[in-house]
Amino acid sequence: MQPITSPHAHSKNSTANVMQLVLLATLPGLIALTHFFGPGTLYNIVLASITAVACEAAILKLRNRPVAFYLRDYSALVTAVLLGLALPPYCPWWVVVVGTSTAIIIAKHLYGGLGYNPFNPAMVGYVVLLISFPVEMTQWAAPRAILEEGQSLMGPVSALARIWLETPVDAYSGATPLDLFKHLDGQTVRQVYDGEALFREGRWAGAGWEWVNLGFLTGGLFLLYRKVFTWHTPVSMLVALGVMAAPFYDGGSSASGGSPLFHWLSGGTMLGAFFIATDPVTSATSRRGKLIFGATIGVTIYVIRNWGNYPDAVAFAVLLMNFAAPFIDYYTVPRSYGHAKARPGRGTP
Amino acid sequence: MNDFKEISLNGLWKNNPALTQLLGLCPLLAVTGSVVNALGLGIATIAVLVGSNLSVSLIRHRVSDAVRLPAFVMIIASFTTCAELLMQAYTFELYQILGIFIPLIVTNCAILGRADAFASRNPVLPSLVDGLMMGVGFTAVLLAVGAMRELLGAGTLFANMHLLFGEIARGWELTIIPDYSGFLVAVLPPGAFLAAGFLIALKNFIDAELKRRADLRKQPVVRGSKRVKTTTVIGS
């Protein structure tokens, strides 16, 4: 039955629907991660999902909220999957459990649950892990292409042993392209790209990594096509990152910070642009606000990557801008219909 | 006697400076990375608080209202300087670790608050007890936060106690979790906010539970009556 009064247009997008689409869209990136780095990420995701659902159910019970109703919105699962994708493959099981429970319990439910959290839960979990366990968090698995003769990617069983018993396997872990490029600052870019297997085996931004990022780009474009979010945040973030990288990159010295393409296709850029920064709860609201929000994330990522101490910066940049989102909203209130111009900050109580 | 009991209960629990008044949070958050740091700052704070309450109470009839706050601050600053010099003399390493937060005891609002709200209006003995109990209440919270952070951050308790108690205390360190790799965030500033937040939540929870039980007990039970569960109000 059509309602007679407005609104006449109805959206079928429920929270659960959107969350399922997001889960679906992570598939290309997940497949690339698994193909190039082995089954570690799959284990991360399974473990994170179990932890997230258990924590969510326990906290909902404590808060006297309907457990089944909130579990069915898939939001805990999305947090778990995003965190699982961001964590290094084969990191010990307790890293995943600590990170996920921090994300769900502290970053989400202590603030009031879905819709009330000022910070992206997955990124809070990631940053807590990064500053607490720097050793475990900065060891990334070596991609398929640079393994030596006779070595192959870890099988499912040895991967399980690595995760649960922490059997040391040094040959399998190494630096990420961002890390490597940052520390080889006394050479020319050509030397780095020819000399290091991680770059030699890749096309633009390091073996494996470029495809992972292209995978997340594909998933992100799918979400954009399905109108899960608007183009403003991801595009402004990527453009800002490129605009920051271009003038500082001279093409010759490896101390000059990497080309725009390198920055777009390495680390967590695409995951951050399409899956993290677009979180409707923690980002700015209006279109103009989203442009500012995304652009400042892009600038911050480049600043931290290039001049900071951490190799990647997506999580820090997103959290910093989560802080600023209410402030951005305050000054970007759109003009409401019937008014000559917007009245920033005065439209809302 | 009852009066002192009330004052003590106020300082230790009901009106605890850190958990209820939320005063003195800066040192509470900044130096509670371990039990020894917390205890060092706690003892210094107790000393200053007792001393300032005593002096303020002694001069309460001589200081005019207009200049009372500067006078109180001067008194607190003098006691803080004494505490600082004493720590510099006897616990030099701890003095270096606590650094700026010892002189900053002057700015601890809990101390000025007690001077103005209690000591300037009450006789010497109650003021003394109030200062002591407020100080002990504050130190207890410092210790709780310090213990939580040390345990989570390093897996130990009472490490480095020799900084405060001399060589005897070297063996006091308890390794609660052996081979612990350390949860660094607990030692960093966010850990302090989280630990203090959880303590405040715990206190509020206990208070609410006590109040609920007291309310239950207050309801008179009439002889012969049956308990009825009311689900709706009839006739509304």
Higher pLDDT, A296 or A8: A296
Least confident of A245-254, B26-35, B116-125: A245-254
> How many inter-chain contacts (A to B, CB under 8 Å) are there?
16
Nearest Cα of chain B lies from the Cα of A319 at a distance, in angstroms, of: 14
Element (H, E) at A141: strand A140-141
Total of domains in chain B: 1
The nearest CA of chain A is from the CA of B186 a distance in Å of: 8
CA–CA min distance B183, chain A (Å) = 5
**Residue in A98, A106, A131 nearest the CB of B188:** A131
Angle at A98 between CA A95 and CA A104, to 5 degrees: 135
- Banded pLDDT at B49 (limits 50, 70, 90): very high
Over 70: is that where the pLDDT of B152 sits?
yes
| Whether residue A345 has pLDDT greater than 70 | no
Round to whole Å and give the CA distance between B28 and B172: 23
B191, closest residue in chain A (CA to CA): A128
- DSSP codes, B154-218: HSEESTTTHHHH-GGGGGG-EESSTT----HHHHSHHHHHHHHHHHHHHHHHHHHHHHHHHHHHH
Cβ neighbours of residue B34 under 8 Å, at least 6 residues apart? Answer: B146, B149, B150, B154, B159, B160
Question: What tens digit of pLDDT does each residue of A9-22 get?
Answer: 666 678 888 899 99
Q: Do A132 and B183 touch (CB under 8 A)?
A: yes
Map residue B63 onto helix, strand or coil: coil
Q: Is residue B216 part of a domain?
A: no
Does a structural domain hold residue B19? yes
What gap in Å lies between CA A152 and CA A135, rounded to an integer?
A: 24
| Shortest Cα–Cα distance, A128 to chain B (Å) | 6
Instruction: Give the residue on B whose Cα is nearest the Cα of A98.
Output: B183
Determine the structural domain holding residue B167 and report its residue range. Answer: 2-206
Q: Which residues contact B50 (CB under 8 A, 6 or more apart)?
A: B128, B131, B132, B135
Is B101 within 8 Å of B45 (Cβ atoms)?
A: no
Q: Is residue B138 part of a domain?
A: yes
In the stretch 141-200 of chain B, residues with CB closer than 8 A to chain A read 181-186, 188, 190, 194
Average pLDDT over residues B49-59: 93
Residue B19's alpha-carbon distances to A38, A54, A109, B141, B142, in angstroms, are 50, 31, 22, 8, 10
pLDDT given at position A22: 93
Which of B:79-138 have CB within 8 Å of A? none
Give residue B152's identity as a one-letter amino acid code. L
Q: Would you call B181 and A133 a contact, using CB atoms and an 8 Å cutoff?
A: yes
pLDDT tens for each residue of B126-140: 999 999 999 999 999
Mutate to test the interface with A, among B149, B152, B179, B184 (most CBs of A within 10 A): B184
Q: Which residues, in sequence order, are bridge partners of residue A141?
A: A173
Question: What CA–CA distance (Å, rounded) separates B152 from B175?
Answer: 12
Segment B195-199 mean pLDDT: 91
Comparing C-alpha atoms, which of A89, A86, A117 is closest to residue A314? A86
Chain A residues touching residue B185 (CB < 8 angstroms):
128, 131-132
pLDDT digits (tens, 9 = 90+) for A179-194: 878 777 777 777 777 7
Establish how many alpha carbons lie within 13 A of residue A344's alpha carbon, considering only the half-sphere containing its beta carbon: 10
Q: Place A267 in a pLDDT band, splitting at 50, 70 and 90.
A: confident
Q: Are B145 and B24 in contact (CB under 8 A)?
A: no
**Whose CA is closest to A36, among A271, A206, A238?**
A206
Chain B residue with minimal CA distance to A107? B194
In a domain, B212, yes or no: no
Spacing of C-alpha A133 from chain mean position: 19
For range A248-265, the mean pLDDT? 82
Residue for token pair 């690339």: A32
* Listed range (A222-231, B2-11, B67-76, B215-224) with the worst mean pLDDT: B215-224
Q: For the ranges A39-48, A146-155, B183-192, which has the lowest average pLDDT?
A: A146-155
Of residues B82 and B173, which shows the higher confidence score? B82
The answer to the question of residue B50 being in a domain is yes
Q: How confident is the model at residue B216 (pLDDT cuts 50, 70, 90)?
A: confident
For residues A38 and A141, is the Cβ–Cβ distance under 8 A?
Answer: yes
Q: Are B137 and B13 in contact (CB under 8 A)?
A: yes
Q: With a cut of 90, say whether residue B181 has pLDDT above it.
A: no
Domain ranges of chain A: 14-174, 176-331
Identify the pLDDT of residue B225.
Answer: 66
Confidence of residue B231 (pLDDT cuts 50, 70, 90): low
Query: Has residue B224 been placed in a domain?
Result: no
Within 8 A of B184 by CB-CB distance, chain A residues are 131-134
ipTM: 0.76
Domain assignment present for B214: no
Q: Is the pLDDT of residue A144 over 50?
A: yes
For range A58-81, the mean pLDDT: 91
pLDDT higher than 90, residue A55: yes
Query: Do the beta carbons of residue B136 and residue B13 sit within 8 Å?
Result: no
Contact flag B183-A131 (C-beta cutoff 8 Å):
no
- Please list, residue by residue across A41-63, b when 16 or more beta carbons sit within 10 angstroms of its beta carbon and e when fewer do: bbbbbebbbebbbebbbebbeee
A98 to B188: CB separation less than 8 angstroms, yes or no: no
Q: Is residue B175 part of a domain?
A: yes
- pTM > 0.90: yes or no: no
Q: How far is CA A222 from CA A73, A226, B18, in A?
A: 20, 6, 51
8 Å CB contact of A128 and B185:
yes
The DSSP call for residue A173 is: E
Name the A residues in 112-141 with CB < 8 Å from any B CB.
Answer: 128, 131-134
**Burial class of residue A257 in the structure, from the number of CB atoms within 10 Å of its CB (0-12 exposed, 13-18 middle, 19+ buried):** buried
CB spacing of B184 vs A106 below 8 angstroms: no
Name every chain A residue with its beta carbon within 8 A of the beta carbon of B186: 132
The predicted structure's pLDDT at residue B230: 60
